[in-house]
Structure 1
Amino acid sequence: MTTLFTQSTEPCPMVDFVNLVSGKWAIPILYRLIVVDDAIRFGALQRAVAPITQKELTKQLRAFESIGLVTRAMYPEMPPRVEYQVTELGKTLKPTLDSLAQWMREHREELSAPL
């Protein structure tokens, strides 16, 4: 008889995923970049995921950039223009995030805590 739960030395992939997208704003930022699927200016992204602070958005975008989910392009204009875009690797998260969004739409009213 086989058991459903086996001992494994492999770390839990969900722990790694949660660490990757941890933080209140991580998933909304990433999802917005995926849905837009084009370069987006910092200010437009900040308005799209409001009420995020400039500091928090900068921090999260830098984290995504450092792991290869987002690219940053800076243009030497006055005022300086900075645009962000999801990478091909980041786009692979679309089905997963679409699924989470759909689950939320379907079950929002069933959840105990007000959202």
Structure 2
Amino acid sequence: MGDQLFKSSVEMTLKVIGGKWKLVILCHLMDGVKRFGELKRGMPDITQKMLTQQLRELEDDGIIHREVFVQVPPKVEYSLTKYGQTMEEVLNVMADWGQQHQERMNEA
């Protein structure tokens, strides 16, 4: 696992989903389609600017789909693409590890 391909693959993954908020956004979208306001309410510590930026980057990478409905007021919905749904396994592994780590820290 210490070879260059492994390292560059991990680097590529982090380039796409790295940062504090992208994984949290993906967790919310695993539950289904969400509007911008729903995402914002689910992550009260994120700024509107940062949420917009992170959503754009995930859309650019083909992880999420943004659908705009032409109406007043404007309605925009976000969902995982089929490709984005492949992140579920990664998120599950991360959640399991995080739970184990929390238990370990509680024992210390």
Question: Which range, TM-score by smaller chain?
Answer: 0.7 to 0.9
Who is 2:77 aligned against?
Answer: 83
**Which residue of the other structure, out of 10, 17, 21, is the alignment partner of 2:13?**
17
Q: Distance in 2 between matches of 1:96 and 1:87?
A: 15
| TM-score of the pair, normalised by structure 2 | 0.86
Who is 1:45 aligned against?
Answer: 39
Q: Distance in 1 between matches of 2:81 and 2:75?
A: 19
Q: Look up the SS of the partner of 2:66 in the other structure.
A: strand
Identity score, percent: 34
Query: What are the superposed Cα offsets for residues 23-80 of structure 1, whole Å, 9 maximum, x if unpaired?
Result: 111111112112x1x3211000111122111100100100011111000011112111
Who is 1:74 aligned against?
Answer: 68
Q: From the CA coordinates, give the structure whose radius of gyration is larger.
A: 1
Q: Distance in 2 between matches of 1:107 and 1:51?
A: 23
Structure 1 runs not aligned, ≥5 long: none
Amino acid in structure 1 at the alignment position of 2:29: L
Q: Distance in 2 between matches of 1:15 and 1:103?
A: 20
Who is 1:33 aligned against?
Answer: 29
Q: Distance in 1 between matches of 2:2 and 2:24?
A: 33
2:54 is equivalent to residue 60 of structure 1:
yes
Query: What are the superposed Cα offsets for residues 65-115 of structure 1, whole Å, 9 maximum, x if unpaired?
Result: 111100001111211111000011010110111110111112114349xxx
More helix by share: 2
Amino acid in structure 2 at the alignment position of 1:110: R
Amino acid in structure 1 at the alignment position of 2:76: V
